[in-house]
């Protein structure tokens, strides 16, 4: 190996010119060498600095492309180094070539030995960190600084200043909002990665690793086959008695059994939680490389010497008697996971919990192919009953729960297009959930518009210079697909194209970036990543991803056109933060400031596609059609349509979406016509009060509504006295007082299910002869959880509807001696909150002035935080009461300042 093969390799490289010196002036002083992707980044960096081959040669810069970075061919290297003062070695990640260059040139006489830099400066400071992702901008800075140090006859400072100015603008405008990858809707890890109170878990490799940025007391990770090794070494030296260790089924088959075997050998107290989801989901849903069933896993674990094995499944009934589990294996329903974990953590030594639930993304794929059962059932939220408390998100961790803004505050709905029918959201402690069986999703009626039949062909960009398109969006929505369709269209037109997809972890619900570079010839394209300020078009399928530093850095106020989907798609943080706000204005400002203002367009294509085509998945292709019609894509219509046909997935659907995008670009007024409501909503305070008074009259009676109106009227008078012309306090009081007075007791929940609006809401989404099942925890009959004391929800069939009608008709008994529900502590608290709020309003009105109006507004808005039902509402109320005391103190200070 050492005496013959490696010397032969070097000789082969030299005789076949594997390494090539492409720019070789006779009087060269500076040498630059790079290999692979780093070579492309280096050439792009030189282009960015204005150093073409001719200019580089004039300045005495010698450039060598390395084809074999190890072992370096020594003779060619010495020829390259001859006469140079310095060699800049551009290495990706850790240094590979730079140490070899230093070693091979070490014995040259000092006068002939060039200085070697790259990873570090001549003074030893880091220039290119091993942890950095190499790009042309970074390489350009390194090269420019070294050339300046050698006093080359070219002023590179303006180029560095432009880079610094660009970086400063991106840094200043970037927001803190991030779209992190997250578990899919209905993902088994939403449930399986929970640990009981007082326990900790260690993560492993797989989709379930994403739990480390969720609030589930799960930290660290290891390589495959070492799961839990960090705990095994720590266990003897800590007072922590036990650890859960997550390990996927694919990892188990790969090398995870070695980790479990190590655990058995160590004798540590550990439960290996095998997450059996029947797919290698992290890399796109491949099948495992061998047969493995849950019973087989139990037998394997038993053979390793493990005697406590539990199987938890969302479908435990599928395991009949005699299934073939290992001796002593217990089988449980997913609902009992917490208790199973509490029990198993007490087992000394190694135990195993197998969580059996198929990957949600795989379920969806298989259902489309007809190879997996698709339950004829869907979950639905009655938004009238919903309080927006977020407990359904806490229970399910599901990203298909979306916000719905109403005059009564934020509610929640289920995005039926992304829901994977896990149904764990129905466990949220809230009576607003129903499941619907036998229903089809209703397609909206097509909108008939007078549109031109023939659209003109726009003037398309030329490719005299490379044309760069940045496509960004949310993982799982077809971002990469659009990029590859456009790339194939370029290929079919015999144009040069490079594609770089940044989609790690399969970017489930996270940010996805596709860099597309078009050119006349492959030689025109250098780095595959679009450099700072180089993008000609940004196709932003998601506002948040479009405003990340990764995206903004590619934009230029001089020439970048930005076509943005303005739909407010919440990040996954909304699952646990019901008050999360979408920073629309901040995002829009950032994108517009970094792109060319007259070429900026923002359209809510999500709503448009839902109304025009009945499916939001068409949004990306519609926006692409919009961009094409505006003349921002260097591809012919025929080539794009041919690429869509070659893709052979929903061909007609995608063509229609693209065509709609073209028409919207041709006639922007169509957007307003499609999205404008048939009946404009009266947004004035007078209109709001009319609506709320009518609601309270239906809730109880006219006298009850007058009490509400009188209170708001008194606030209006006080507000006009303190701040003439202002209505914000009165509006806030109206919304919050209505919320308190229309508390959702048994009568109100029954009314909101039977007054006709709920049926209308159902019929707007579903068609067919469907059946409705109600999921509630009635206070008088619901069983309580033995451990927590919280009532457990129960399922009630359609027979409940007439019962609810009867209960709704009894609402006149509310707050009378015949109100059987009114004697509960919960109802007493509801009535007390109304009285407390009324008293607080009187206190505010007596001392309201311009100095404390803002504080008064915060006080008036507190009831909106008291959301939910039962124990959820009590917990929120306790937090709010503490906040009220602090705000009243601040209010009084403002009152004293006005008096002084």
Of 63, 85, 68, 58, which Cα lies nearest the Cα of 19? 68
How many Cα atoms sit within 13 Å of 554 on the Cβ side? Answer: 30
Whether the Cβ atoms of residue 244 and residue 202 lie closer than 8 Å to each other? yes
pLDDT at residue 704 in the model: 94
State how far the Cα of 255 lies from the Cα of 694, in Å rounded to an integer.
66
Question: Which pair of tokens denotes residue 319?
Answer: 């395991």
pLDDT at residue 507 in the model: 63
pLDDT at residue 683 in the model: 79
Q: Measured in Å, how far apart are the chain's first and last C-alpha atoms?
A: 92
* Alpha-helix residue ranges (DSSP H) falling in 397-510: 479-492
pLDDT at residue 804 in the model: 94
pLDDT at residue 900 in the model: 64
State how far the Cα of 502 lies from the Cα of 892, in Å rounded to an integer.
55
Sequence-distant (≥ 6) Cβ neighbours of residue 432 within 8 angstroms: 381, 382, 383, 384, 385, 386, 387
Helix (H, G, I), strand (E, B) or coil at 417: coil
Helix (H, G, I), strand (E, B) or coil at 541: coil
Residue 451 CB neighbour total at 10 angstroms: 13
pLDDT at residue 680 in the model: 66
Whether the Cβ atoms of residue 350 and residue 263 lie closer than 8 Å to each other? yes
Residue 420 CB neighbour total at 10 angstroms: 18
Helix (H, G, I), strand (E, B) or coil at 51: coil
The structure's pTM equals: 0.89
Q: At what angle do helices 605-613 and 619-629 cross, to 10 degrees?
A: 110
pLDDT at residue 453 in the model: 59
Give the CA radius of gyration of the chain. 33
Of 492, 502, 500, which Cα lies nearest the Cα of 469? 500
Sequence-distant (≥ 6) Cβ neighbours of residue 332 within 8 angstroms: 310, 311, 312, 313, 316, 340
pLDDT at residue 227 in the model: 93
Backbone angles phi, psi at 306, to 5 degrees: -90, 130
pLDDT at residue 55 in the model: 93
State how far the Cα of 678 lies from the Cα of 471, in Å rounded to an integer.
35
Sort 891 into a burial class: Cβ within 10 Å, 0-12 / 13-18 / 19+: buried
State how far the Cα of 42 lies from the Cα of 529, in Å rounded to an integer.
12
Task: Count H helices and E strands in the chain, helices first.
Answer: 33, 26
pLDDT at residue 79 in the model: 95
Helix (H, G, I), strand (E, B) or coil at 889: helix
pLDDT at residue 245 in the model: 96
How many Cα atoms sit within 13 Å of 842 on the Cβ side? Answer: 7
Q: Strand 766-767 to strand 440-441: parallel, antiparallel, or no bridges (unpaired)?
A: antiparallel
Of 194, 187, 203, which Cα lies nearest the Cα of 246? 203
Helix (H, G, I), strand (E, B) or coil at 104: helix
DSSP-derived letter for residue 135 is: -
Q: Strand 86-90 to strand 61-66: parallel, antiparallel, or no bridges (unpaired)?
A: unpaired
* Residues of the chain with confidence (pLDDT) below 50: none
State how far the Cα of 259 lies from the Cα of 10, in Å rounded to an integer.
42
State how far the Cα of 725 lies from the Cα of 735, in Å rounded to an integer.
19
pLDDT at residue 148 in the model: 92
State how far the Cα of 553 lies from the Cα of 547, in Å rounded to an integer.
10
């Amino acid at each position: 190996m050492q005496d013959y093969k490696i010397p032969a390799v070097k000789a082969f490289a030299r005789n076949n010119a594997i390494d090539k010196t492409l720019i070789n002036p006779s009087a060269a002083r500076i040498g630059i060498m790079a290999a692979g992707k780093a070579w492309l980044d280096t050439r792009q960096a030189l282009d960015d600095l204005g150093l073409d081959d001719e200019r580089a040669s004039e300045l005495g810069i010698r450039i060598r492309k390395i084809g074999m970075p190890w072992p370096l061919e020594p003779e060619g290297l010495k020829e390259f180094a001859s006469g140079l003062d310095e060699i800049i070695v551009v290495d990706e990640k850790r240094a590979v070539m730079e140490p070899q260059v230093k070693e091979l040139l070490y014995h040259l006489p000092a006068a002939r030995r060039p200085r070697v830099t790259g990873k570090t400066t001549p003074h030893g400071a880091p220039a290119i960190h091993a942890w950095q992702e190499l790009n042309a901008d970074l390489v350009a800075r390194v090269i420019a600084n070294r050339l300046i140090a050698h006093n080359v006859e070219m002023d590179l400072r303006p180029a560095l200043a432009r880079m610094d100015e660009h970086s400063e603008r991106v840094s200043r405008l970037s927001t803190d909002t991030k779209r992190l990858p997250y578990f899919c809707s209905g993902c088994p890890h939403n449930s399986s990665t929970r640990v009981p109170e007082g326990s900790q878990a260690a993560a492993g490799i797989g989709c379930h690793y994403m739990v480390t940025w969720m609030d589930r007391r799960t930290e660290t990770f290891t390589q495959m086959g070492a799961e839990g090794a960090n705990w095994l070494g720590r266990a003897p030296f800590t007072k922590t008695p036990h650890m859960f260790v997550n390990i996927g089924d694919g990892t188990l088959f790969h090398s995870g059994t070695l980790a479990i075997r190590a655990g058995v050998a160590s004798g540590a107290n550990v439960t290996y939680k095998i997450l059996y989801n029947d797919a290698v989901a992290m890399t796109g849903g491949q099948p495992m490389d061998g047969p493995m069933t849950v019973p087989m896993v139990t037998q394997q674990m038993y053979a390793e010497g493990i005697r406590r094995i539990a199987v938890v499944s969302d479908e435990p009934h599928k395991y009949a008697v005699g299934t073939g589990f290992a001796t002593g294996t217990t089988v449980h329903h997913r609902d009992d996971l917490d208790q199973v974990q509490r029990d198993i953590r007490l087992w000394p030594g190694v135990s195993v919990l197998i969580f059996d639930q198929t990957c949600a993304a795989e379920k969806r794929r298989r259902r489309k192919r007809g190879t997996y059962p698709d339950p004829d059932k869907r979950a639905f939220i009655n938004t009238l009953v919903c309080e927006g408390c977020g407990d359904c998100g806490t229970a399910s961790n599901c990203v298909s729960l979306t916000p719905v803004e109403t005059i009564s505050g934020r509610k929640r709905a289920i995005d039926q297009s992304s829901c994977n029918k896990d149904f764990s959201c129905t466990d949220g402690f809230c009576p607003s959930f129903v499941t619907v069986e036998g229903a089809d999703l209703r397609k909206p009626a097509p909108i008939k518009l007078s549109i031109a039949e023939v659209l003109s062909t726009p003037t398309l960009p030329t490719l005299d210079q490379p044309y760069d398109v940045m496509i960004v969006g949310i993982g799982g929505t077809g971002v990469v697909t659009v990029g590859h369709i456009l790339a194939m269209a370029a290929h079919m037109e015999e144009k040069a194209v490079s594609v770089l997809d940044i989609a790690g972890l399969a970017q489930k619900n996270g940010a996805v970036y596709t860099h597309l570079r078009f050119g006349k010839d492959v030689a025109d394209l250098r780095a595959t990543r679009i450099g700072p300020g180089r993008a000609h078009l940004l196709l932003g399928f998601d506002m948040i991803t479009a405003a990340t530093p990764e995206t903004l850095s590619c934009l230029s106020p001089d020439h970048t056109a930005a076509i943005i989907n303005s739909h407010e798609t919440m990040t996954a943080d909304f699952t646990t933060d019901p008050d999360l706000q979408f920073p629309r204005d901040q995002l829009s400002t950032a994108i517009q400031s970094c792109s060319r203002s007259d070429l900026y367009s923002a359209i809510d294509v999500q709503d448009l596609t839902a109304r025009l085509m009945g499916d939001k998945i068409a949004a990306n292709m519609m926006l692409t059609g919009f961009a094409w019609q505006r003349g921002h894509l260097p591809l012919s219509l025929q080539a794009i349509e041919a690429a869509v046909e070659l893709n052979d997935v929903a061909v007609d659907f995608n063509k229609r979406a693209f065509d709609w995008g073209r028409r919207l670009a041709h006639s922007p007024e169509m957007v307003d016509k499609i999205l404008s409501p048939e009946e404009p909503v009266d947004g004035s305070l007078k209109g709001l009060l009319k609506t709320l008074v009518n609601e309270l009259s239906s809730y109880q009676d006219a006298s009850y509504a007058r009490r509400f109106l009188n209170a708001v009227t008194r606030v209006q008078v006080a507000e006009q006295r303190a701040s003439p012309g202002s209505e914000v306090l009165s509006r806030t009081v109206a919304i919050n007082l209505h919320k308190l007075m229309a508390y959702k007791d048994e009568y109100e929940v029954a009314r909101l299910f039977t007054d006709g609006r709920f049926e209308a809401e159902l019929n707007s989404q579903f068609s067919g002869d469907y059946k409705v099942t109600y999921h509630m925890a009635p206070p008088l009959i619901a069983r309580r959880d033995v451990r927590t004391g919280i009532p457990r929800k129960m399922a009630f069939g359609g027979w409940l509807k007439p019962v609810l009608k009867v209960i709704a008709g009894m609402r006149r008994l509310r707050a009378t001696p015949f109100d059987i529900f009114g004697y509960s502590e919960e109802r007493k608290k509801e009535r007390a909150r109304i009285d407390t709020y009324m008293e607080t309003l009187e206190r505010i009105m007596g001392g309201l002035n311009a100095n404390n109006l803002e504080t008064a507004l915060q006080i008036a808005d507190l009831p909106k935080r008291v959301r939910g039902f039962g124990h959820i509402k009590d917990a929120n109320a306790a937090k709010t009461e503490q906040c009220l005391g602090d705000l009243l103190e601040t209010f009084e200070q403002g009152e004293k300042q006005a008096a002084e």
